[in-house]
């Protein structure tokens, strides 16, 4: 592994094999030592850059030199999202089988744009999407497609909604038209901000994302939603879509899907359900009821890279209106015509779908492979037992909060998310806000645990989310000890 | 490697290490046997699916079973994009160092959304983007960002153009406004269809993508462009952007960038340059002149996953108007506020960029790692020598075409793309169109070579593109022999 690349080909076969084995050990070592690492590195902006050459090397460098720099320059700047005490965001989702799938997909490096250019990637995508659909409890009338992220998925969903609601938008656009009213999209004040990005891109406008107030449990207020829609209609605006959330980012709240679905049906409004995180709860028999009504959605996104143990990136959009999605995005250029499955004489179109007809991207990685390996290696039972354990760990946070003076849950635990707050007597709400943020920062700075803060009911709260198969109650205990210690320490100096 | 996953954790460490080594051998075996495989599998739609379980397994399956199915069910349905005789599209870009980078990035599974959540991924992205910028010859005034594909990059570029040209689009959108004219985007009739998808999504409309005729060398006709802009202005429409192509998909033609840039500057129109494939030619001193004028673009996309040996996906957008991009896409939600680098007290913003502020996606893989490994392992000399060799191979196609009766180049070779046509005497143009498409289909069906067909000047042509470091003249010879043999065979039966 000391020879640089051959004059024009690739690494010689024996060196490539040796390098792959060396990398296998690197990965195995990484996973074995992960728990002993600081989660957040002690690194300042510019520090990684300072170790890197500002210019590209003129001539080939040997792999051992590059791998040494990986260890000595890159790794000291890595936040270890896969550490079992990393309880930020929605937790890391990688694991052994997932990694093997990533490696195989990288080796194949195919693009799943059409069936013809990628029969296996296309069919595996369809099969895996049907497994996930069934796992979360969606009916077979939903067609799926894999995108990279939920932000891209909601963009596609709203593009389809726009196409369904308005004529000739695909061709004529929205600009300069007097026949198109202001478009409105509704979501609770707890919904993910990716919706705003989609509205901006689609020409709907950020101001036309109507944030509906939520109730005491952070669920969209139905009366407020109905009133907003009525008011907008009265003003001549067009209610285009409601984005309901099943598992909000801060507290895993679930909007009242049956009522929203009924309203959307009555009003002929597209219903998109953001179940990017929460969709996974449908895998539990006891969790399925939380998602009641989702089967009436026009589209729904679930991110296996959030809570179904598939690594970044893998977001699944399901829709009952696949033809609308296809009407927006199908454009087969001549140089792909021969590759399009619709030209595969006598071929049943359903069996040979060209996923590029349903989305923006033409270059599409073989993402289904890692998902297929994860779902098989875990099995339904393995997936559900881990999701159940994550929910139990969130409840275990609530128990600890209940036992600790000056701590209180900010809202009851939902799914695998626990939001709580430290508010010692004699400290104002505002001061406690700063204190809670400071506690999170201090715990994270310790390197031993990681959590995030967020805002709930106008107050700053601490938040733990569980999603890593390596996380046990012992890891929770470690993070919790740091939270309590930092609370006491910082609380003592954070008077008004 | 026979025990299923532990009850709640991951694979035991020793089994994971063994599985990684087994996968290392799988990858090494794949690369060593790649050349002996049929490029296109003999598989019918539904055949892969038939081998897969229609439902997800109830309980965990052992890895050896899954890996056996990978070999026996999935692999027989794979098109081997990395085969050195695969000359379709823009060629495969994977290689040894790239694969090692993919593996390391998969093991880390970080999300490069903010500097704080990913210092190393963020800084490596910035460094690698500056290497690539310098390699292709863009000035330092261009800021870069990595997206997945050029389709997503042009969507972002046109969103920024829309923001620069019109006030309050981000907030108010385009719908229902009487103060916004019809928006027009211009591109040659050779430009990539991803532009249409972007125009559809952004509310510009497919009909408002004005396809400008191209000259005999398939370059945008300046007089036609100027006339179209003047006509649109006279009709009260707003010329929003010109998308010039540096390396068209079919024939690698380069639009007259200096003239287009001058026109755009005079007219205050955003200039986006699609150099997704062609940008790489800027790495050659003798190729740089082809891209003259690109430095005056407002935005430019180059895809290292096309011709800079970085595997799918990795698309780099550069812009001189990064603030416009940021104005469209920056939305820092509360739960990320603590992670935003702008809050890192005293931090210089430039050193701690949050890439999520410049794009739709929040979940962002550590794509820079593979690019960094490729660029170092090849070095500038290694990159340029391979690009030069690919250009030479395209010229070698032209030599073979010149020696073969009834074959003619459809257009002179540009960069690493050769387009040619078989048109035996006594065969009508229309019949020859069908014949050329049939030859391509027959060569591809042989499994020994792969090329694509396209349309140039209204006629069907055969097209070979070079981009794989494993491709040598011997591979070209193999494909060429099949092309000639199929031409003779099919030509004999394709009379009018």
In this complex, is the C-beta atom of A313 within 8 Å of any C-beta atom belonging to chain B? yes
Helix (H, G, I), strand (E, B) or coil at B112: coil
Chain A residue closest in CA terms to B366: A312
Measure A92 CA to nearest chain B CA, in Å.
8
Strand-pairing partners, residue B417, are B414, B465
Instruction: Nearest by CB to A48, from B124, B238, B441: name it.
Output: B124
Strand duo B315-319 + B299-302: pairing: antiparallel
Q: Which residues of chain B have pLDDT under 50?
A: 1-2, 342-350
Name chain A contacts of B197, Cβ cutoff 8 Å: 329, 331, 360
Looking up tokens 């300042």, which residue turns up?
A: A44
Displacement of CA B87 from its chain's centroid (Å): 15
Inter-chain CB proximity B197 and A334 less than 8 Å: no
* B437 interfacial to chain A (CB closer than 8 Å): yes
Interface contact B17-A28, CB threshold 8 A: yes
Which residues of chain A have a CB within 8 Å of the CB of B5?
95-97, 377-378, 382
A154 contacts A272 by C-beta, under 8 angstroms = yes
| Per-position DSSP letters for A267-330, written without gaps between them | HT-EEEEE-TTGGGGGGSTTTGGGGTTGGG-SEEEE-HHHHSSPPSS-EEEEES-HHHHHHHH-
In this complex, do A170 and B47 lie within 8 Å of one another by their Cβ atoms? no
User: Looking at beta carbons, which residues of chain B come within 8 Å of A109?
Assistant: 81-82, 92-94, 311-312
Please answer whether residues B315 and B146 qualify as being in contact, where contact means their C-beta atoms are separated by less than 8 angstroms.
yes
* Domains of chain B in sequence order: 110-365 (3.40.640.10), 374-491 (3.90.1150.170)
Beta-carbon contacts of residue B266 (< 8 Å; ≥ 6 apart) = none
Q: Is B107 on the interface with A (CB under 8 A)?
A: yes
DSSP string for B466-481: ---TT--HHHHHHHHH
Structure tokens given for B35: 């050349």
pTM comes to: 0.96
Residues sharing a CB contact under 8 Å with residue A180, sequence separation 6 or more, in sequence order: A166, A169, A174, A238, B175, B176
Are A194 and A185 in contact, with CB atoms under 8 Å apart? Answer: no
Task: Flag if B27 and A204 touch (Cβ within 8 Å).
Answer: no
Cα A398 to Cα A394: distance, rounded to the nearest angstrom: 7
User: Which chain B residues have a beta carbon less than 8 Å from that of A66?
Assistant: 97, 373, 376-377
pLDDT at position B3 = 55
Tokens representing B176 are 């229902």
Angstrom distances, CA of residue A232 to CA of A226, A243, B135, B289: 10, 16, 53, 56
Q: Are A465 and A475 in contact (CB under 8 A)?
A: no
Give alpha helix (H) positions in A245-330: 257-267, 304-307, 322-329
- Residues near B403 by Cβ (< 8 Å), separated by ≥ 6? none
CA-based nearest distance A417→chain B, Å: 14
Q: Using CB atoms, which residue from A170, A313, A382 is nearest to B365?
A: A313
* Cross-chain Cβ contact A109/B311 below 8 Å: yes
Chain A hits for B331, Cβ within 8 Å: 193, 196-197, 206
Candidates A389, A400, A414, A395; CA nearest to A468 is A389
**What is the torsion angle, in degrees rounded to the nearest 10, for the CA atoms of residue A341, residue A343, residue A344 and residue A349?**
50
| Structure tokens that stand for B370 in this block | 């593979």
Q: Are A133 and A381 in contact (CB under 8 A)?
A: no
Can you tell me the distance from the alpha carbon of B66 to that of B91, in angstroms, rounded to the nearest whole number? 30
CB contact under 8 A, B25 and A20: yes
Contact status of A125 with chain B (Cβ, < 8 Å): no
List, in sequence order, every residue forming a beta bridge with B143; answer none if it has no partner.
B319
Interacting residues of B307 by C-beta distance below 8 A, sequence separation 6+: B90, B91, B93, B277, B279, B280, B387, B390, B416, B467
CB contact (8 A) between residue B26 and residue A107 = yes
Which of A39, A107, A116 best tests the B interface by mutation, with the highest count of B CBs <10 A? A107
Q: Which residue of B has its CA nearest to A53?
A: B127
Three-state secondary-structure class, residue A188 = strand
Which residues of chain A are under the pLDDT cut of 50? 1-2, 342-350
Nearest to A8 among B15, B315, B385 (CB): B385
The nearest CA of chain A is from the CA of B457 a distance in Å of: 12
A453: nearest CB among B95, B311, B338? B338
Compare all CA atoms of chain B with the CA of A103 and give the residue at the minimum distance. Answer: B103
Q: Which residue has the tokens 């399009």?
A: A340
| Spatial contact of B126 and B353, defined as CB atoms under 8 Å apart | yes
Residues ≥6 apart with Cβ < 8 Å to A476: A87, A393, A396, A397, A400, A464
Please give the sequence-ordered ranges of beta strands (E in DSSP) within A150-206, or none if there are none: 183-188
* Closest CA relative to residue B72, chosen from B50, B51, B56: B51
In B176-303, where does DSSP find H-type helix?
194-201, 222-234, 257-267
Residue A335: predicted pLDDT: 55
Q: State whether residue B465 is helix, strand or coil.
A: strand
Q: Which of residues 396-415 of A touch B (CB under 8 A)?
A: none
Under an 8 A CB cutoff, do B175 and A170 touch?
no
pLDDT tens, position by position, B102-160: 999 999 999 999 999 999 999 999 999 999 999 999 999 999 999 999 999 999 999 99
| DSSP-assigned letter for residue A207 | G
**Interface check A227 vs B, CB under 8 A:** no
Token pair, residue A24, equals: 């296998």
Contact residues on chain B for A126, CB-CB shorter than 8 A: 49
Please check whether residue B392 is in contact with residue B386, taking contact to mean a CB–CB distance below 8 angstroms. Answer: no
Angstrom distance (rounded) from CA B245 to CA A348: 36
CB atoms within 10 A of CB A7: 9
DSSP for B325-360, written as a single string: HHHHH----HHHHTT-GGGSTT--GGGS--GGGGSS
Cβ atoms of A278 and A250 closer than 8 Å:
no
Q: Does A345 touch chain B (CB under 8 A)?
A: no
Distances (CA, A) of A404 to A80, A394, A484, B302, B479: 29, 16, 8, 55, 73
pLDDT tens readout for residues A114-141: 999 999 999 999 999 999 999 999 999 9
Task: Tell me which residues of chain B, numbers 249 to 278, contact chain A at a CB-CB cutoff of 8 Å.
Answer: 249-250
Please name which of A479, A147, A100, A491 lies closest in space to residue A301, comparing C-alpha atoms. A147
Within an 8 Å CB–CB cutoff, is residue A424 touching chain B?
A: no
ipTM of the complex: 0.96
Using alpha carbons, list the distances in angstroms from residue B377 to B99, B222, B489.
12, 41, 45
Q: Are A305 and B203 inside 8 Å of each other by CB? A: no
Among partner residues B61, B250, B331, which is closest to A377 by beta-carbon distance?
Answer: B61
Question: Of the candidates A16, A101, A96, A150, which has an alpha carbon nearest to the alpha carbon of residue A371?
Answer: A101
**CA-to-CA separations, B493 to B265, B480, B489, in angstroms, rounded:** 55, 20, 7
B205 within 8 A of B237, measured Cβ to Cβ: no
Cα–Cα distance, A452 to A437 (Å, whole number): 9
The CA distance from A89 to A80, in Å, is 13
Inspect the interface and report whether the beta carbons of A8 and B363 lie closer than 8 Å: no
Upper half-sphere CA count for residue B175 (Cβ side, 13 Å): 29
**Residue A351: per-residue pLDDT:** 59
CB A156 within 8 A of CB A147: yes
- Cα gap B42→B445, rounded to integer Å: 8
**For chain B, what is the radius of gyration of the CA atoms?**
25
Residue A312 sits at the chain B interface (C-beta within 8 Å): yes
User: B115 vs chain A: nearest CA distance in angstroms?
Assistant: 8
Q: Do B459 and B468 form a contact (C-beta atoms < 8 A)? A: no
**Total Cβ atoms within 10 A of residue B53:** 12
Partner A contacted by B11 (CB < 8 A): yes
Which residue does chain A place closest to B459, by CA atoms? A334
CB B286 within 8 A of CB B292: no
* pLDDT tens by residue, A67-104: 999 999 999 999 999 999 999 998 778 999 999 999 99
Contact A341 B8 (CB under 8 A): no
DSSP-assigned beta bridge partners for residue B220: B214
Instruction: Name, in order, each residue with C-beta under 8 angstroms of B319's C-beta and a sequence gap of 6 or more.
Output: B142, B143, B157, B160, B298, B299, B300, B325
Cβ–Cβ under 8 Å, residues B220 and B214: yes
| Minimal CA separation from A243 to chain B, in Å | 17
Of B441, B443, B438, B442, the C-alpha closest to B479 is B443
Question: What is the nearest CA distance from A221 to chain B, expressed in angstroms?
Answer: 21
Within 13 Å, how many C-alpha atoms sit on residue A94's CB side?
28
Angle at B197 between CA B128 and CA A325, to 5 degrees: 115
Is B244 within 8 Å of B253 (Cβ atoms)? no
pLDDT value for B348? 41
The answer to whether the beta carbons of residues A37 and A80 sit under 8 Å apart is yes
Task: Please identify which residue in the block is written with the tokens 């027959």.
Answer: B442
Residues of chain B found within 8 Å of residue A347, distances taken between Cβ atoms: 44-45
Chain A residues whose CB is inside 8 A of the B447 CB are none
Element (H, E) at B271: strand B270-274
Cα-Cα-Cα-Cα dihedral sign, residues B85, B88, B90, B92 = negative
C-alpha–C-alpha distance, residues B61 and B230, integer Å: 66
User: Which chain B residue is nearest to residue A205, measuring alpha carbons?
Assistant: B173
From the CA of A495, how many Å to the nearest CA of chain B?
22
Picking from A3, A57, A119 by the largest number of B CB atoms within 10 A of its own CB, the best residue to mutate is: A119
- Distance of alpha carbon A455 from the chain centroid: 20
């Amino acid at each position: 592994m000391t020879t640089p690349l051959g004059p024009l080909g690739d690494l010689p076969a024996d060196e490539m094999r040796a390098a792959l084995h060396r990398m296998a050990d690197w990965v195995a070592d990484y996973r074995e030592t992960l728990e002993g690492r600081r989660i957040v590195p002690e690194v300042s902006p510019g520090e990684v850059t300072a170790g890197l050459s500002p210019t590209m090397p003129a001539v080939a460098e040997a792999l051992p030199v590059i791998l040494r720099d990986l260890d000595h320059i890159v790794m000291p700047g890595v936040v270890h999202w896969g550490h079992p005490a990393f309880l930020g965001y929605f937790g890391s989702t990688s694991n052994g089988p997932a990694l093997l799938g990533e490696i195989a997909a990288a080796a194949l490096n195919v693009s799943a744009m059409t069936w013809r250019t990628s029969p296996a990637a296309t069919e595996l995508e369809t099969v895996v999407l049907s497994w996930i659909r069934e796992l979360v409890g969606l009916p077979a009338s939903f067609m799926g497609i894999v995108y990279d992220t939920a932000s891209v998925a909601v963009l596609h969903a709203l593009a389809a909604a726009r196409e369904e609601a308005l004529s000739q938008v695909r061709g004529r656009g929205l600009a300069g038209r007097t026949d198109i009213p202001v478009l409105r999209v509704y979501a609770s004040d707890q919904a993910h901000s990716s919706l705003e990005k989609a509205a901006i891109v689609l020409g709907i406008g950020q101001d036309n994302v109507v944030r509906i107030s939520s109730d005491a449990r952070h669920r969209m207020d139905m009366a407020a939603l109905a009133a907003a829609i009525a008011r907008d209609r009265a003003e001549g605006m067009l209610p285009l879509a409601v984005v309901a959330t099943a598992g909000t980012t801060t507290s895993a709240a679930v909007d009242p899907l049956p009522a929203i679905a009924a309203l959307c049906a009555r009003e002929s409004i597209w219903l998109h359900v953001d179940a990017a995180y929460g969709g996974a709860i449908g895998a539990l028999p006891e969790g399925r009821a939380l998602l009641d009504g989702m089967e009436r959605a026009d589209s729904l996104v679930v991110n296996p890279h959030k809570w179904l143990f598939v690594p970044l990136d893998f977001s699944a959009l399901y829709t009952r209106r696949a033809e609308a999605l296809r009407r927006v995005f199908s454009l087969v250029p001549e140089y792909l015509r021969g590759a399009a499955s619709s030209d595969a004489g006598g071929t049943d179109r359903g069996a040979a779908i060209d996923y590029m007809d349903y989305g923006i991207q033409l270059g599409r990685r073989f993402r289904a492979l890692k998902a297929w390996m994860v779902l098989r290696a875990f099995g339904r039972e393995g997936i559900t037992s881990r999701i159940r354990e994550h929910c139990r760990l969130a409840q275990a946070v609530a128990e600890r909060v209940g036992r600790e003076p000056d701590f209180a849950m900010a809202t009851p635990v939902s799914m695998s998310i626990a939001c709580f707050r430290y508010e010692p007597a004699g400290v104002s709400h505002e001061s406690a806000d700063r204190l809670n943020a400071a506690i999170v920062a201090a715990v994270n700075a310790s390197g031993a645990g990681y959590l995030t803060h967020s805002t709930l009911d106008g107050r700053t709260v601490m938040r733990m989310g569980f999603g890593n198969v390596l996380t046990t109650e012992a890891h929770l205990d470690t993070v919790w000890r740091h939270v309590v210690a930092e609370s006491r320490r910082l609380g003592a100096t954070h008077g008004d």
